[in-house]
Amino acid sequence: MKANLFSSRIGGTAAVPPSKSAAHRAVLCAALAEGTSRIENIEYSQDIRATLGAVAQLGAKICEEPNAVSIQGRGAGNGFVTVTRPVFCNESGSTLRFLIPLFSLTAQKIHFTGAGRLFDRPQAVYQMLFDSQGLRFTQEPDGITVFGRLRPGGFKMPGDVSSQFISGLMFAAPLMESDSLIEVLPPYESRSYVDLTLDAMQQFGIKVAQRARKNGSVVYRIAAPQTYTASDVTIEGDYSQAAFLAVLGCVLGGVTVTGLNPESKQGDKVIMDILQRCGGKCKAVDGGLKFSRSLLKATEIDLADCPDLGPILFTLGCFCSGETILRNAGRLRIKESDRIAAMQSELEKMGARIQVDGDTVYIYGTALRAPERPLNGHNDHRIVMALAVAAAAGGLPATILGAEAVNKSWPAFWQVLQSLGERVEFEE
């Protein structure tokens, strides 16, 4: 689907969608719990639907409402059901990595399937973990097959890979036969995502002890067996999605964002600090944050703990005077697209000046121009949204191919942009 954007006057109030990261974790914990949990403020993006479908195969019973879901968990005493078909994860890395250790506990042969670039993403951490216990872990272009039940014990996990591996093992550990120790080795990147996992597990009755060692590693002790207990939760707003509206507001002014928890532990909350360092103006108003037109200046940003902000920070850099530097950007290459190459190639169609040196990106502030050719969304939700903000913030007409990619995480994105005044027309 094509989205044709036209230069429009932007302004107004918009609510951010619920945090996808928090929703994945709440759904998973609820599915493992004794009793029925109710999760409020949930958006049925493709990623969340993948997780809901997968936990149903573990025996959870799902009852969907427009903005909430009730989940009757399988419960620790009920055992696991027989998994009769492949587990479809779509393009959701969280779904796949969170569930591999859990499905291994069924002691059945499980085949995970997906779409897009899901199985281009590295899974070496799990490969080594399963190999070390003499279990089967086979990755092929069409999916991953595991066979054998993970056993408790001591686990050493690298801290400079996706935190999803650490979280996946944490979800499974309380259901094993005895205690486990998970040691995360330095450098510990994306720790905020593990903190979200711990918060979710605690809310569903699971206790995890943690301590730091002198060598810089962090050790988590997870007693087992423990029982997940049902809990009613409300999913907070998503800072990684709010970043798109916040950048738009700081460039053009007059945008108010609602639905954010100022006490959130989301790592992507750092967007507020980044914008402040760039000179972005923001003030708290009743029920939200109002972003005002700002004279933005370049800064240096470390993406090690906030890789999901990468695409919109490319856009932000274009509107900052000076040289914006994005460091530790390498993980952007193994997302739904190669986000470094994608953002560079598409923004350069708009006159952007971008240089890449290994895992460091340099963006030089310059006036963008209307692209002469359509922009390619690279089948990546964050690329599509970052390009849409670039066009809208620059007051530029543009065509974006693959506009439907936003359904992966924020199905209402285009409606929200239209509600702020952007004129958008669609073509199949």
Look-up of token digits 């007409």: 397
User: Annotated catalytic residue: which of 47, 238, 308, 338?
Assistant: 308
In DSSP notation, 34-88 reads BSEEEEES----HHHHHHHHHHHHTT-EEEE-SSEEEEE---GGG-PPP--S-EE
CA atoms of 49 and 61, how far apart (whole Å): 14
Sign of the Cα torsion 91, 93, 99, 101 reads positive
CA atoms of 46 and 39, how far apart (whole Å): 17
CA atoms of 281 and 297, how far apart (whole Å): 12
The residues, any chain, with a CB within 8 Å of residue 149's CB and separated by 6 or more, are 104, 105, 106, 107, 135
Edge-first strand order for the sheet with 255-258 is: 12-15, 255-258, 288-292, 281-285
CA distances from 144 to 99, 137, 138, 370 (A): 12, 7, 6, 43
Q: Are 418 and 21 in contact (CB under 8 A)?
A: no
Q: 370: helix, coil or strand? A: coil
Which residue type, as a one-letter code, is found at position 392?
A
Does residue 308 carry a catalytic annotation?
yes
Q: Where are the beta strands (DSSP E) in 75-224?
A: 87-88, 110-113, 136-140, 143-147, 154-158, 180-185, 208-212, 218-222
Q: Are 17 and 410 in contact (CB under 8 A)?
A: yes
- In this structure, the dihedral spanned by the alpha carbons of residues 342, 345, 346 and 350, taken in order and rounded to 10 degrees, is 160
Catalytic residues: 308
